[in-house]
Amino acid sequence: MSSILLITFDLDDTFWDIKSTIINAEMNSRKWSEDRIGEKIEWGTFEDFMKIRNELVKEDTSLEYDLGMLRKKTIAHHTKKFFKDAKDLDEFIEDAYTFFLGERHKVTFYDNVVSVLEQLSAEYKLGVLTNGNADVNKLGIGHLFDFSISSMDVKSNKPDKAHFVKARELSQIDFKNTLHVGDHQVNDILGARKLGINTMWFNLNNLDWEIDENPPIQFNKWSQFIKLVEKSYGN
Ligand SMILES: [Mg+2]
């Protein structure tokens, strides 16, 4: 009998590559905005983009976990000069954000992710713990999970404990019977480990474990995952 009753998963860079997803979403959204406004827009460099985001977060720290609002404010920053009427601007921002969100959900799952989740969902409770704004219900895999917790839900980002504590509250399963799986050494592995949650590191690029002398159990292909869970925790 496995000691694991609940498995929680990170999403971005754990189930799919986030950089290519966001770059595509960003490019398509820019084109969408320019087509809608009918003008070329000065988007600036990637550094400018990050600078604007950092300044917005400095003004309002809740934007650190409210990625939707951060995105809307970034859109407004670039486009407000094209609108005389505040209502027209608001309407544009809502539409632009809806478009972006649709694009952001055009992900390519890593090999075997979905079939592995399907198999696991028959044996374990499954949950999502994400700092991002992907929604598993928009990806056709929502039915495989018992719950999904985003940063907006807990007004906090991993590695802080709020996601993990909320998972325990929703599942009624102790940390010692929970396994958290993610790609990030600090946000996922260290955050969970500090609470006594079991961890597995999805280490796609075979990085070195830089945190301490105690590397977590790790894997780089989803096809390895179920056997590894059974080997590590029993079945
Ligand atoms: Mg991640």
In the reported structure, the alpha carbon of residue 132 is separated from the centroid of ligand 1 by a whole-number distance in angstroms of 8
30 CA to centre of ligand 1 in angstroms: 25
Give strand pairing partners of 217. 200
| pTM attached to this predicted model | 0.94
How many A from CA of 9 to the centre of ligand 1? 9
Spans of all domains in the chain: 6-16+110-233, 19-104
Distance 74 CA to ligand 1 centre (A): 22
| pLDDT at site 104 | 97
Of all residues in the chain, the percent with pLDDT exceeding 70 is 100
CA of 97 to the centre of ligand 1 (A): 22
Residue 71 class from Cβ within 10 Å (0-12 exposed, 13-18 middle, 19+ buried)? buried
Confidence of residue 78 (pLDDT cuts 50, 70, 90): very high
Distance 22 CA to ligand 1 centre (A): 13
**Ion ligand 1, residues whose Cβ is below 5 A away:** 10, 12-13, 183-184
Task: Tell me what pLDDT residue 235 has.
Answer: 75
Ligand 1 mean position, distance from CA 185 (Å): 9
Give φ, ψ of 80 to 5 degrees.
-60, -30
pLDDT, mean of residues 54-73: 95
As its CATH architecture, domain 19-104 has Up-down Bundle (1.20)
The amino acid sitting at 149 is: I
Do 185 and 157 touch, CB atoms closer than 8 A?
A: no
Three-state SS at 121: helix
pLDDT higher than 90, residue 97: yes
- Centroid of ligand 1 to alpha carbon of 184 (angstroms): 6
Spatial contact of 89 and 79, defined as CB atoms under 8 Å apart: yes
Query: For 165-221, what is the HEC assignment?
Result: HHHHHHHCCCHHHEEEEECCHHHHHHHHHCCCCEEEEECCCCCCCCCCCCCCEEECC
Phi-psi category of residue 172: left, alpha or beta, with phi > 0 → left and psi -120 to 50 → alpha:
left
Q: Mean per-residue pLDDT for 71-79?
A: 96
HEC letters along 74-93 = HHHHHHHHHCCCHHHHHHHH
Q: What is the pLDDT of residue 1?
A: 74
- pLDDT tens digits for 136-187? 999 999 999 999 999 999 999 999 999 999 999 999 999 999 999 999 999 9
Helix (H, G, I), strand (E, B) or coil at 147: strand
Predicted pLDDT of residue 122: 97
Say how many Å lie between the CA of residue 15 and the centre of ligand 1.
8
CATH architecture of 6-16+110-233: 3-Layer(aba) Sandwich (3.40)
